[in-house]
Amino acid sequence: MKTTVNEAKNMLEKMPRIPLGFFPTPLHRLDRMSEELGVNLWIKRDDFTGSNLFGGNKTRKLEFLIGKAAEEGAEAVITYGATQSNHAMQTAWAAARSGLKPILYLAAVVPPDPDDFKANLLLDGVFGAEIHIVDLEEGESFADAERRSFKMGKAHIARLAEEGVVCYDIPMGGANEYGSLGYLNGMVELAEQMQQQGIRFDCMYHSTGSGGTMAGLMAGRNLLGLDMTIHSVTAMEVDEKYAGRAAGLANKSLELIGADVIVEEKDFLIDQDHYSPGYECPSEEATEAIKLLARREGVLVDPVYSGKAFAGLIADVRNGKVPAGSEVLFLHTGGATVFFAEKEIIGGVAR
- For the annotated catalytic residues, the residue numbers are 85
Asked whether the beta carbons of 81 and 88 are under 8 A apart, the reply is: yes
CA distance 66 to 77: 8
Q: Which residue type, as a one-letter code, is found at position 6?
A: N
Edge-to-edge strand ranges of the sheet holding 76-82: 130-135, 101-108, 76-82, 167-169
CA distance 72 to 168: 8
